[in-house]
Amino acid sequence: MAKDGSTMLTEILQQDDQAILQQWLERQLSAPGLRTDRLGRSELTEHSRRFLVLLRDAARSGGTDIHGAAWASTRQMLDDLSMTRAQQGFSPSETALFVFSLKEALFDRLRARNEAADTTAAMIWHTTTLLDKLGLYTTEVFQKGREQVIVRQQQELMELSTPVVTLWEGVLALPIIGTLDSARTQVVMESLLQRIVDSGASIAIIDITGVPTVDTLTAQHLLKTIAAARLMGADCIISGIRPQIAQTIVHLGVDLGTVVTKATLADAFAVALRRLGLTVARVNDQQRRRDRADDAERSSGHDRSEN
């Protein structure tokens, strides 16, 4: 009498589970490029055993629709597995291989049973469909995990790359690193304006040394930021304009209007100090000698206290 594939699979999973686990584990461990550094043998064994148990329970009732309720716990297990492996840096195929490598073990058990040809065929078809679905499912989850990692990194990058630095009382500096797109502009603008309110600064220096290219859109974003800062009563100076960027700006016909631009942050800072009525002066020789003597005395005193 011919049995259908589902019954056969359940039967094999039930009766030969130890042998299957053994062979499956061997298969996984002998796979080329197994990351033994990231995944211990005991952990793998535990994963495999749990998956086999879940598969057996689900296969008994669930058919091949792996999105059904009967497969919920199996899916949950694969979710966790894929997510962990995605974070550990496994490749998608290495992750999917976890499921696919089970086939060989199952089919070997089947061969040993010498069932009728149509039963064997039905069982192979059923199992292949099922395991393919589950394998692809791990890939999907894996992909999702990776995307989450990317999104998180993007956010971190966004926050990291827009610091507002206080250069002096009343002078803020905004070193922009990386391309200035709309999303970044929003973050930059918000953090700059907030800092202007908090610190009462009247001059902000926007340093674009780290901006790789300036196109019309980037220039527009810059001008927007400057206009918003001006509305809050702060003047902006753009600094760090590289020669190529100066050329691009002129070639594109970007009108920076009345915005003060400087080649280096130092020049911009000098302008800011001048506007605040401050100067940087070299101390005279006598003063310097006295300072140096003070320093020497302090350091020798320090040495003595150490000894």
Partner 1 sequence: MERIPILKMGDYLLVTIQVDMHDRLAMTLQDDLTARIVSARAKGVLIDISALEMVDSFMGRMLGDIAGMSRVLDAETVVVGMRPAVAITLVELGLSLTGVHTALNVERGMQLLRSRIDARGREDAGTA
Task: Tell me which residues touch partner 1 (CB under 8 A).
Answer: 186, 189-190, 193-194, 196-197, 200, 202, 224, 227-234
- If you compute the radius of gyration of the chain from its CA atoms, what whole number of angstroms results? 34
Q: Return the structure tokens found at 199.
A: 């610190």
Nearest to 93 by CA among 152, 26, 35, 168: 35
Nearer to partner 1, 69 or 227 (CB): 227
Nearer to partner 1, 196 or 245 (CB): 196
Least CB distance to partner 1 at residue 189 (A):
6
Nearer to partner 1, 76 or 194 (CB): 194
Nearer to partner 1, 231 or 280 (CB): 231
- Type of residue found at 257: G
Least CB distance to partner 1 at residue 246 (A):
24
Least CB distance to partner 1 at residue 190 (A):
7
Least CB distance to partner 1 at residue 258 (A):
9
Least CB distance to partner 1 at residue 297 (A):
44
